Structure 1
Amino acid sequence: MGYFNAAWQDIKNSPGWFGKLVVLGLVSLIPIFGWIVVYGYLYGWGRDIAWGVHAPLPAHVFGNEDGRLYSRGFFVMVIGLVCSLAPWLVDVVAMMLTGSSAWGWHYGGHFSFPFGMASGVVGLVLFALSLAAMLFAVLFFWAGSMRMSIYGRLSAGFQLGRLWSMLRRDFNGMLRILGMAVLLMFFLSVAVTIFIIVVVVVGMLVGFIATGGNLNINANHPGAAIMGMIFTIGGVAVILALLAGFASSVMTVFITAMITRALGYWTRQFDVPAWRGQDDPMPFELAGAVGSFGGPGQQPPYGQPPLR
């Protein structure tokens, strides 16, 4: 069963799952703090399945059962911010070398300094590097966030050697998660676009009704007709825009829940209960070594799986 199929089954089989996503969607609208809670809640759930603990979505969004809800969410945001610097640095280099963004080539821009005609080739190379940087930034963000969630320490999310070992072990699995995430985000974009079209159509219909059914503003009271149309259309547009924004927030939280749970399943293959300290090799790195794990005093992170 695929990672996303398993994630969807876990979400829909959680009691009151839709209501919890709605609450998380509302919380996510709070700047910074909202996503600290969302990330802390969802990556904690992803950590559960990485341990092999098959539990539904936690009953309370602010429950903080393991005492790490807020620190975990904050650390995820820090890891995401740091990983986002890689594509940005590529773009800075492009600006220094060519006088234009690495994405300028893609969007029809041109490079004139200091390479002249050769700058087009340089721009293409930098654009490819920017895409690669974005890809690996996302993958390292996801793997780092999961590793941090398991150890509960920010430093565990920046162990590039360990993260690369995990990615190299099952790079295809992580790419499948990325592909499904992109597909879900595409559907979200389509849904938002359709909603905007609906808003425009509804606004035109309201204007049609507000002017007597024929958009005739040259009636006996043209000023009143115009003002009525403006306020009616504006009010409806604001309400629909707020609803669209909230629906988009809930859908974004749903996609994040799918991704984090899928990441938990992806991480589970590395035998998390057998992990020791964050600086120690993982079981698959010591495959074939005698007595690698299970010796006296060798404890997994936190000493026991998470409790819900």
Structure 2
Amino acid sequence: MDSRFSSNQSLFSAAKSALTCEGGWFKRVLLLCLIGFIPIYGLIFVTGYIYEWAAGIINHTELPFVRKINWKRTFLAGLAPFIVGIIIYGVFTEISLSTKDVGIPFFGFILTFLQVAITVIFTGLCLRQTVYRRFSELWSVSSILSVCLEDMGGFLSCIVLSFIISFLTSIVMVILFLVILIFGFASVADPQIILNVLKGDLSHLLSIVVTLMIMGLITAVIVSPVLVITNALIVALVAVWIARSDISADRKFYAPAITDGNAHSCTTDTYEVDNG
């Protein structure tokens, strides 16, 4: 494994280093944001791109974040994580709504902690699926549990760091949304404009709608890089933790000896570095 991901570094430092160590990484983030605006396909593709990169940490190929894009393979790599993410979010949203009146102290915090823990576990399984290119690896729960038992401290660190990163991202997004919303409403809150709209002046109504749409687009453009970086950091956290712990766990998660043509598909000779 690259020395940047040695146990001498904190999980967060190693994950951050994996993302930012190459020149042009932020330009690639912006490109992913642009692709992400493509309905459905874009979100799955961005997810697959991040997972393929993070899987390179686990199988010790250190796949570069800035690389040539294999569109089909990257899209397929993102299918499982994307679907699993939607399911986890949907299940816990339903649980949260159906138990909002439960009088258990700190129940919301416990539920959030459980959601993050399950997300970390399934992120690990999705990374294994990405390494081996087999959807059946999503059911290899014993592989990720062996890593958890070997390094419970690292597992808890992943949960705490993922929670903190997500929480800070939420705060940033709320602040950005409020600032843009305030400026947007300030630009259309002229009393005369509102009076004309109430009188049925469609031209002024159209101007308000267009202004709000522009504000929404600006919000999406600003928030998108934050979300991509957040997702990349969290997935990298899990990948670094697994890569470190798997060595002492007798490689129960990633076994280089398993060579069926799929286990080494994420390699630096398969993906070229994109210097542009």
State the TM bucket, normalised to the shorter chain.
Answer: 0.7 to 0.9
Task: Give 2:182's aligned residue.
Answer: 201
Distance 2:20 2:86 in 1: 31
Report the Cα offset of residue 251 of structure 1.
1.3
Please report how far the alpha carbon of residue 232 of structure 1 lies from its aligned counterpart in structure 2 after TM superposition: 4.6
1:147-174 CA distances to partner (integer Å, 9 max, x unpaired)?
2122211121222222211122223223
Counterpart of 1:30 in structure 2 is 38
In 2, the alpha carbon distance for the partners of 1:149 and 1:232 equals: 47
For residues 96-151 of structure 1, the C-alpha deviation after alignment (integer angstroms, 9 at most, x for no partner) is xxxx822332xxxxxxxxxxxxxx5xx66987874564244212211211221222
* Contact 1:144 1:158 (C-alpha < 8 Å) held by counterparts: yes
* Matched residue, 2:133: 152
Contact (CA 8 Å) 1:39, 1:73: kept in 2 or not?
yes
Map of 2:5 onto structure 1: none
1:245 aligns with 2:220: yes
- Aligned-partner residue type, residue 267 of structure 2: P
Q: Does 1:63 pair with 2:70?
A: yes
**Whole-Å separation in 1 of the counterparts to 2:183 and 2:236:** 38
Give the distance between the partners of 1:140 and 1:237, measured in 2 at CA.
Answer: 40
SS in 2 for 1:283: coil
- Would the alpha carbon gap of residues 267 and 206 (structure 1) be closer, same or farther in structure 2, given more than 3 Å must change? same
Q: Which amino acid aligns with 2:231?
A: T
Question: Which sits farther off after the overlay, 16-25 or 124-133?
Answer: 124-133
Length-normalised TM-score, structure 1: 0.67
Aligned partner of 1:102 among 92, 95, 99: 99
Question: Counterparts of 1:125 and 1:187 in 2: how far apart (Å)?
Answer: 20
Contact 1:144/1:163 (<8 A) preserved: yes
* Residues 51 and 130, structure 2, Cα contact 8 Å, conserved in 1: yes
Matches within 5 A, 1:176-195: 176-195=157-176
2:47 maps to which residue?
A: 39
Quickly say closer, same or farther: Cα 1:176–1:159, change in 2 above 3 A: same
- Deviation, 1:10, is 2.7
Aligned to 1:278: none
The match for 1:114 is none
Q: For residue 187 of structure 1, what is the amino acid of its counterpart?
A: L
| Larger Rg computed on CA atoms | 1
Could you tell me which residue of structure 1 aligns to residue 20 of structure 2? 12
CA shift in 2, pair 1:224/1:73, >3 Å:
closer
User: What stretches of structure 1 of length at least 5 have no aligned partner?
Assistant: 95-99, 106-119, 275-281, 286-292
In the alignment, is residue 52 of structure 1 matched against residue 60 of structure 2?
yes
Report 1:1-308 matches (<5 A).
1-60=9-68, 62-64=69-71, 68-81=73-86, 83=88, 87=92, 91=95, 101-105=98-102, 130-131=111-112, 133-203=114-184, 205-207=186-188, 215=191, 223=196, 231-271=206-246, 283=250, 298-299=257-258, 302=262, 304=264, 306-307=267-268, 308=271
Deviation of the 1:82 alpha carbon: 5.4
* Aligned counterparts of 2:90 and 2:186: Cα–Cα separation in 1: 46
Which sits farther off after the overlay, 35-44 or 189-198? Answer: 189-198
Superposed displacement of residue 188, structure 1: 2.5
Gaps of 5+ in 2: 1-8, 272-276
Q: 1:173 to 1:197 in 2, by over 3 A?
A: same
Shift of 1:57: 0.9
User: 2:175 is paired with a residue of what secondary structure?
Assistant: helix
The residue type equivalent to 2:24 in the other structure is G
Which has the higher mean CA deviation after the structures are superposed, 190-199 or 144-153? Answer: 190-199
Aligned partners of 2:38, 2:156: CA distance in 1, in Å? 31
The answer to whether the Cα contact below 8 Å between 1:199 and 1:237 also exists between their aligned partners in 2 is no
**Which digits, 9 at most, give the CA deviation of each residue in 1:61-118, with x for residues without a partner?**
x425xx73232211223443555576479x4xx9xxxxx822332xxxxxxxxxxxxx
Q: Deviations over 1:13-51 (max 9, x none)?
A: 323212211121122233332222112111111111212
